[in-house]
Structure 1
Amino acid sequence: MICQTTGWGGQPINVHTANQSSDPASRLIPVTDSRRLRITFNGSVSDVLPWKFTPQQREVRVLPGETALAFYTATNKSDEDIIGVATYSVSPGQVAPYFSKIQCFCFEEQRLNKGETVDMPVFFYIDPEFVNDINMKGIDTITLSYTFFKARYDKNGHLTPVPG
């Protein structure tokens, strides 16, 4: 239930209203008479993960219903292969039901070889119903933040027991 509400796991969020089709493609129509929303990006890594992880752009501006593509770059700064997993958050929190990721690297294992750098795309949209929610009226900036954590796997990709 949490994943459906927040979009965790990289799955698009399904927002249903009485007058709305259940087909997600029907929500990908830009609301041209709406204000553009400023989407900003943050990236961080946990203290034990020797990676550099940064967004390639500071912000994009989108209309509700308009798709957008953003990229993050991850670099493994260590001398060994490492598997990481990213979590994300959307702020302000009340926007989360309207922030829909079509494609995302979050919650999927990402293996970076020693010294490797990769680009990671995020394809998303803000559900058009955002403009009809009175609680969203003052919101012009939305921040998408990702944090990478080291997965608890050995260098061969096998799950290892966590000392307790």
Structure 2
Amino acid sequence: MTLQEVPPASGVRRKRLIALSAAASSLAMLGLSFAAVPLYRAYCAATGYGGTPQVAKLAPASEGERDLIVRFDANVGPGLAWTFVPETPEIKLRTGKTATIFYKITNMSDQATLARAAFNVSPESAGAYFDKIACFCFKDQKLGPRETLELPVVFFLDPELEKDATMVGVETITLSYTLYAAKPPTQDTVAAKEKPL
């Protein structure tokens, strides 16, 4: 049976099916576009892709055999009147050993401001092995006028990096933070967080 021989009712049904399929595909693509950013962040956090450090609850039970230099970098985004520096520019660290370093931030303005840190590790291949146990980057930081804080970062380098061929020639890893101005929460967002589920 050719298309010309299809009865008119079947032709209408076919056009509806095609229209419904196109609409469903469009809605699915729209949904995926909204989910892309959170899914990408989750993927980076799980794999270390793009230099994203891992989050750990405990340090490994034993140390590895390699010592690496870990450098610390601090930057302030536009529009934020803060200073931000690591108190120690670099350390030598054995894989599997936990280290604590501090960053110092100062609000140089005459008003209270809020900021949030974005972070990454370079080279990117090291992100999968850079594990943070505690970090100020997981929440907004609020400083009053001229206030100064020292913020800790507790981390270790996973000894598994010693088995990764891409890490063989790596002698130095850099942990880099950038502070960006954040907006204070509105009454609606505060009420939504406090509302019981």
TM category, shorter: 0.7 to 0.9
Give 2:60's aligned amino acid.
R
Please, which of 12, 35, 48 is the counterpart of residue 55 of structure 2? 12
C-alpha contact 2:48 2:125 (8 A) present in aligned 1 = no
Alignment RMSD (CA, Å): 2.3
SS at match of 1:29: coil
The structure with higher relative contact order (CA 8 Å, sep 6+) is 1
Which residue does the alignment assign to 1:63?
Answer: 94
CA distance in 2, matches of 1:26, 1:47: 36
Which residue is 1:19 aligned to?
A: none
Contact preservation (8 Å) 2:121, 2:173: yes
**Separation of aligned partners in 2, 1:6 and 1:102:** 15
Q: Distance in 2 between matches of 1:81 and 1:4?
A: 35
- Where does the alignment leave 5 or more consecutive residues of structure 2 unmatched? 1-41, 189-197
TM-score (norm 2): 0.68
Say if 2:130 is the partner of 1:117.
no
Q: Report SS of the residue matched to 1:75.
A: strand
SS at match of 2:128: helix
Alignment TM-score, normalising by the size of structure 1: 0.81
- Is 1:69–1:121's contact at 8 Å kept on the other side of the alignment? yes
Aligned counterparts of 1:137 and 1:50: Cα–Cα separation in 2: 40
Query: Structure 1 unaligned runs (5+)?
Result: 14-23
1:53 aligns with 2:84: yes
Alignment correspondent of 2:121 = 90
Kept after mapping to 2: 8 A contact 1:28/1:67: no
Q: Distance in 2 between matches of 1:3 and 1:116?
A: 32
1:102 maps to which of 133, 142, 160? 133
Name the CA distance, whole Å, in 1 between partners of 2:62 and 2:76.
35
Identity of aligned residues (%): 37
Cα distance in structure 2, aligned partners of 1:143 and 1:108: 21
Q: Is 1:158 matched with 2:186?
A: yes
Deviating runs (4+, > 4 A) in structure 1? 7-11
Shift of residue 118 of structure 1? 0.2
Q: Which has the higher strand share?
A: 1
Is contact 1:9-1:106 (8 Å) kept?
A: no
| Among candidates 40, 48, 62, match of residue 71 of structure 2 | 40
Deviations 1:112-163 (A, max 9, x none): 001000001000000010111111100010000000000022xxx5379xxx
